[in-house]
């Protein structure tokens, strides 16, 4: 009991001191203090603000949406009036849904709930929930700044489940964030396109679990980190010469559209200066199946230090496509091979876009002989799992041991 009391001595401090502690650490870590004790959870409990909209059952449905959007913009701007201390607030909008809305209702009830959390480092998290609307499609466009009070100072923005209001709401609300450094989009069904144009401040962009996303276009000179998780959309990265880290976690496959070999190669070309790369193994396999020979491309990953290859399985074609890809990673220092059996299988279709003659039909000895020496590779970690055959596992180990001339460590997890 004495040890337990000593370990939780911080929780007994006055609220103002606990708030000062929260102010001194990043918002993400500060929010995690809620697991420490009931005292911390109480400190982070969002204050509730109920907003009753002035409308009746004859109000046009579109007008109801406009009223909610205007109210949200005013309240969020007011909420961000000061960044002196982290704070959580729950905005609950109530009213009559509007004429022609299904199911019909003549009585006032909750329309939408938005949880807003701000941090001292000019950071804002918005999560939309309990909404009566299903926005079937919407777009996010961030262009040159327009300028709106309080939002202009925002540096970090995390949006979760924003498919709740009209199609232009998010773009209109945050078009003034001209010094935004970090943008995280998570679980946004209905989001079809993301367009970030002529941005000179954004350094981090992370997108995950947006199932309807078909196109991502980014023009951001200061962008250093781009992370994507989901099905492969069309991705264009322009004016991103400072890009150092990219993660393409394509666990949901290629998406509904036809796989375009040229588009993917253009994407890889735009990422060629990165130092850290995470990529799905099936993407490299599909490119090889379309006839791409990485060593014959006009670009290399000339600065790549760390490569993380991830897929649901390891077989001979995935092994050979990885071996070929290593030919354009001349200074690679660390290689991580992660097989996650919880991921779904992504089966390769019949591809007709042959950039070169297909070469995965070659025998393994020929593939191995074409792999260039890995002169800088020092560390390899392979988590191959039980589904990889013994032959594939041993042949991959043999290749890396032979080609990595200064290898210092290799770990294999099965």
pLDDT at 236: 97
What total number of domains does the chain contain?
1
Question: Would you place residue 65 in the very low, low, confident or very high pLDDT band (cuts 50, 70, 90)?
Answer: confident
Query: What pLDDT sits at residue 82?
Result: 73
Cβ–Cβ under 8 Å, residues 215 and 192: yes
The token duo for 304 is 């790549």
Of 90-104, 317-331, 340-354, give the lowest mean pLDDT range: 90-104
**CA dihedral of residues 167, 151, 202, 85 (deg, nearest 10):** -120
In a domain, 375, yes or no: yes
- Cβ burial of 184 (10 Å; 0-12, 13-18, 19+) is middle
Does 359 score more than 70 pLDDT? no
Q: Choose among 335, 334, 345: nearest CA to 387.
A: 345
In a domain, 348, yes or no: yes
pLDDT at 11 over 80: no
- Indicate the range of 320-324, 338-342, 349-353, 362-366 predicted with least confidence: 349-353
Q: Is 36 a domain residue?
A: no
When pLDDT is averaged across residues 142-148 and rounded to a whole number, the result is 58
**pLDDT tens per residue, range 156-200:** 999 888 765 656 777 777 777 778 999 999 998 888 999 998 888
- 238 in helix, strand or coil? strand
pLDDT band at 302 (very low <50, low <70, confident <90, very high): very high
The H-or-E segment that residue 38 falls in is: helix 38-44
pTM (2 d.p.):
0.85
| 196-224 pLDDT tens trace | 988 889 999 999 999 999 999 999 999 99
Q: Which residues contact 269 (CB under 8 A, 6 or more apart)?
A: 298, 299
Q: Rg (Cα) of the chain, in Å, rounded?
A: 25
Residue 124 lies in a domain: no
Residue 183 lies in a domain: no
Q: Which two tokens stand for residue 55?
A: 């409308």
Tell me the pLDDT tens digit for each residue of 32-41.
666 666 666 6
The better pLDDT of the pair 354, 104 is held by: 354
Lowest mean per-residue pLDDT among 12-16, 188-192, 229-233 = 12-16
What range does the domain containing 268 cover? 247-414
Distance separating alpha carbons of residues 359 and 86, to the nearest angstrom: 57
Is residue 8 pLDDT above 70, yes or no?
no
Asked, for residue 175, whether it belongs to a domain, the answer is no
Tell me: pLDDT of 5 over 50. Answer: no
Nearby residues of 388 by Cβ (< 8 Å), 6 or more positions away: 313, 314, 315, 339, 414
Closest Cα to residue 128, out of 95, 85, 169?
A: 169
The share of the chain scoring above pLDDT 70, in percent, equals 76
Give the contacts of 23 (CB within 8 A, at least 6 positions apart): 30, 84, 85, 86, 120
CB half-sphere exposure, 142, CA atoms < 13 A = 25
Question: Residues 380-387: what's their mean pLDDT?
Answer: 78
Residue 68 exposure: Cα atoms within 13 Å on the Cβ side = 30
Compute φ and ψ for 37, nearest 5 degrees. -165, 170
285 in a domain, yes or no? yes
pLDDT of residue 361: 60
- Structure tokens belonging to residue 201: 């401040």
In terms of phi and psi (left: phi > 0; alpha: psi -120 to 50; beta: otherwise), the region of 21 is alpha
Q: What is the mean pLDDT of residues 329-354?
A: 83
- Name the CA dihedral angle for 271, 275, 281, 283, rounded to a multiple of 10 degrees: 0
What local confidence, expressed as pLDDT, does residue 263 receive?
94
Res 17: pLDDT: 74
CATH code at 371? 3.80.10
> 326 near 293, Cβ under 8 Å?
no
Query: What is the chain's mean pLDDT, rounded?
Result: 81
């Amino acid at each position: 009991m004495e040890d337990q009391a000593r370990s939780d001595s911080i929780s007994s401090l006055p609220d103002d001191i606990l708030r000062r502690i929260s102010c001194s650490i990043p918002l993400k870590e500060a929010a995690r203090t809620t697991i420490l004790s009931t005292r911390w959870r109480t400190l982070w409990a969002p204050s509730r603000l109920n907003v009753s909209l002035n409308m009746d059952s004859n109000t046009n449905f579109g007008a109801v949406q406009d009223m909610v959007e205007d109210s949200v913009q005013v309240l969020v701007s007011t909420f961000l009036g000061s960044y002196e201390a982290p704070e959580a607030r729950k905005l609950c909008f109530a009213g009559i849904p509007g004429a022609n809305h299904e199911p019909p209702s003549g009585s006032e009830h909750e329309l939408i709930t938005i949880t807003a959390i701000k941090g001292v480092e000019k950071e804002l998290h918005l999560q939309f929930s309990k909404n009566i609307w299903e926005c079937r499609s919407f777009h996010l466009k961030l262009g040159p700044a327009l300028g709106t009070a309080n939002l202009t100072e925002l540096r970090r923005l995390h949006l979760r489940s924003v498919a709740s209001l009209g199609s232009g709401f998010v773009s209109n609300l945050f078009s003034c964030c001209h010094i935004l450094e970090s943008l995280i989009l998570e679980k946004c069904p209905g989001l079809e396109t993301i367009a970030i144009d002529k941005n000179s401040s954004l350094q981090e962009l992370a997108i995950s679990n947006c199932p309807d996303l078909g196109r991502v276009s980014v023009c951001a000179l200061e962008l250093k980190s781009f992370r994507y998780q989901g099905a492969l959309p069309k991705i264009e990265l322009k004016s991103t010469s400072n890009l150092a880290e990219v993660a393409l976690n394509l666990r949901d496959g290629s998406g509904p559209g036809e796989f375009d070999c040229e588009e993917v190669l253009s994407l890889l070309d735009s990422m060629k200066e990165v130092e850290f790369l995470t990529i799905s193994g099936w993407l490299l396999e599909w490119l090889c199946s379309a006839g791409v020979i990485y060593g014959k491309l006009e670009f290399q990953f000339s600065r790549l230090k760390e490569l993380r290859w991830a897929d649901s399985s390891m077989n001979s074609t995935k092994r050979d496509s990885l071996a070929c890809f290593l030919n354009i990673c001349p200074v690679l220092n660390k290689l991580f091979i992660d097989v996650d059996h919880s991921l779904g299988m992504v089966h390769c279709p019949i591809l007709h876009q042959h950039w070169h003659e297909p070469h995965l039909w070659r025998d393994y000895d020929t593939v191995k002989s074409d792999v260039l020496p890995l002169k800088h590779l020092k560390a390899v970690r392979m988590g191959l799992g039980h589904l990889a055959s013994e032959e594939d596992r041993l042949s991959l180990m043999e290749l890396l041991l032979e080609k990595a001339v200064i290898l210092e460590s290799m770990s294999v997890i099965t």
